[in-house]
Amino acid sequence: MPNFDLTGRTALITGSSKGIGNALARGLAESGARIVMNARDAETLKAAAADLRSSGAGVDTLVFDVTDPDAVRSAVDAYEAERPIDILINNAGMQHRGPLEDFETDAFDRLMRTNVNSVFYVAQAVAKHMIQRGRGKIVNIASVQTALARPGIAPYTASKGAVSNLTKGMATDWARLGLNCNAIAPGYFDTPLNAALVADSAFSEWLEKRTPQGRWGNVEELQGAAVFLASDAASFVNGHTLFVDGGITASL
C-alpha cells in the first residue's frame, strides 16, 4: 500500500536506544524510512544503532539531551544542513513514582522537563525546517495516563496530559503550514520503564483483569500506529491522540 510506504523519508526518534523508541525505530525502518536515533549516552546509542543497521536499515545517530534546548537546536540544525528530517517521533520520557503530598519539587521539575519541555524543544527545532518545506510529520508519545490517573504518579499524569494538549496546539498552529501533528497514547507495555510493575505479580494480575485484552502490550504493537501517523495515509489526521491500550480506556 503506497500510502504507508516511508521509503525516502528520514525519521528522528528521540530516546530510541531502547524500549518503545527502539521498537518504533524498527517499525519505521521496516517501512522504508532512514532512522536518526537519539539518546544521551553515546555508547548505548552506538550499540543500538549497530544492531538496527544489522537488519539492513539506514541509520544515523544524534547524541543530545532533549532537556537542553541549545543542544537540541544545535544537533537538529547540523543534521538538517545535510539531510531533511521528514518525521519526528518525540518519545524520550521518564517516570518517577511517589505520594503526591511528599513528591519532591526537584523530581517534579525534572519529570516535566523530560516529558513536556523536551517535546516542545525538539518539535520546535524540527518544525522550523519542516515549515520551510511545507510538509512534515510530528508524532508525540503520550500515555494512557493522558486520560486516566493512578495513585503515586500524579505528576506523570499531568505531564502526559500536557503532551496531548500540546499536540493539539501544534496542529492548530502548524497544520496550515503543511505539518501533521499527532500523538500516540500507549497503554501498559512491557518496557524497561515499567520493569518494576511487570515484576509485581499483584499489579500484573490487576492489569490483566482491568484490560479487556487481558495482557500487557508488546512494544511491536505500537509500530503500526506510528507508521500510520508518519505516512501519507494520515494526511488529514491532525491534533489526534491515538490510544493503543488494549481497550483499557474504553472499559470501566
Surface-to-core class of residue 148, CB atoms within 10 Å of its CB (0-12 exposed, 13-18 middle, 19+ buried): middle
Quick one: DSSP state of residue 218? P
Residue carrying C-alpha cell 505520594: 99
DSSP string for residues in 166-216: HHHHHHHHHGGGTEEEEEEEE-SB-SGGGHHHHH-HHHHHHHHHHSTT-SP
Active site residue 156: yes
How far from 208 is each of 84, 186, 203, 248, CA to CA, in Å? 43, 15, 9, 10
User: Which position among 79, 121, 156, 188 bears the catalytic label?
Assistant: 156
| Catalytic residue numbers, as ranges | 156
